[in-house]
């Protein structure tokens, strides 16, 4: 992984930052992007570069790749981590919110994957792309219909891209987190009843850490996973293998 340029989206904090940390430790030159300004400070802690980008805006994504290529060089590892949920009641869920989630979580992933892959092909780079899926690609939560739909789409997009790009030596995989100790879990962690419910459906008996996701992403991005493509690895403490809750 030494000296490979790795772009991680949604990397100012949480899982994205943990992915960047793991890739930096493996020797990558890390490039962090996020819609938040603190991405610059996060990147500086890793000796990397930070770029502001709304992954729901394809013109911003295109501009970001152009700037990265001009400033640093072509991306050989892409981690499509940026995502939003926007919970709401199904019957009153707005089309605007649904579209925003799909644009960030699915359209942005497609566009960034396509943009990165075109440069990889043009320059003969045998790269790796890792998309952030979720167990909600398979198990649904009624309050986040757009998120569930987007992550199901990410899984299928991962397979289609993997098949399309395999002849060019580019691998495409996904990681599907379960309950991970991030800011999104803060409310659950502070509520004993809610946390007990989560643990009832987590056979390993604890929430996961962002770094456990980051390490899985770094593995898939590396040559250690050289014969793996088109797969989604679920890092969920056994959740999807459980067919009931107690």
Catalytic annotation present for 244: no
- For residue 246, what pLDDT is reported? 55
Give CA–CA dist 29/44, Å, rounded: 12
Our measurement of the distance from residue 30's CA atom to the centroid of its chain's CA atoms, rounded to an integer in Å, reads 15
Question: CA nearest 62: which of 75, 49, 53, 74?
Answer: 53
Joined together, the tokens standing for residue 167 give: 């002849």
Yes or no: is domain 5-180+210-238 CATH 3.40.50.720?
Answer: yes
Of the candidates 93, 147, 234, 244, the residue annotated as catalytic is: 147
Give CA–CA dist 121/65, Å, rounded: 15
Q: Which residues of the chain have pLDDT under 50?
A: none
- DSSP conformational letter for 13: S
- Between helix 145-165 and helix 108-123 the angle, nearest 10°, is 20
For the chain, the domains span: 5-180+210-238
Give CA–CA dist 212/180, Å, rounded: 9
Name the pTM for this structure.
Answer: 0.95
25: helix, coil or strand? helix
Tens digits of residue pLDDT in 118-142: 999 999 999 999 999 999 999 999 9
């Amino acid at each position: 992984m030494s000296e490979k340029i790795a772009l991680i989206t949604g990397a100012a904090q949480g899982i994205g930052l943990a992915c960047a940390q793991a890739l930096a430790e493996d020797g990558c030159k890390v490039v962090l992007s996020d819609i938040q300004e603190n991405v610059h400070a996060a990147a500086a802690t890793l000796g990397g570069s930070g770029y502001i980008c709304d992954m729901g805006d394809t013109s911003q994504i295109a501009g970001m790749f152009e700037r990265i290529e001009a400033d640093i060089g072509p991306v050989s590892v892409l981690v499509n981590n940026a995502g939003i949920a926007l919970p709401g009641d199904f019957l009153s869920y707005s089309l605007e919110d649904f579209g925003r989630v799909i644009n960030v979580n699915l359209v942005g992933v497609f566009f960034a994957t396509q943009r990165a892959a075109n440069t990889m092909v043009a320059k003969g780079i045998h790269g790796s792309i890792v998309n952030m899926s979720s167990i909600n690609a398979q198990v649904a939560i009624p309050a986040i219909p757009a998120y569930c739909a987007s992550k199901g789409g990410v899984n299928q997009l991962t397979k289609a891209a993997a098949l399309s790009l395999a002849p060019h030596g580019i691998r495409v995989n996904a990681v599907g987190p379960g309950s991970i100790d991030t800011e999104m879990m803060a409310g659950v962690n502070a509520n004993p009843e809610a946390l007990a419910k989560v643990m009832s459906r987590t056979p390993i008996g604890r929430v996961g850490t962002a770094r456990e996701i980051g390490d899985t992403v770094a593995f898939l991005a590396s040559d250690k996973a050289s014969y793996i493509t088109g797969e989604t690895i679920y890092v969920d403490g056994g959740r999807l293998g459980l067919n009931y809750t107690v």
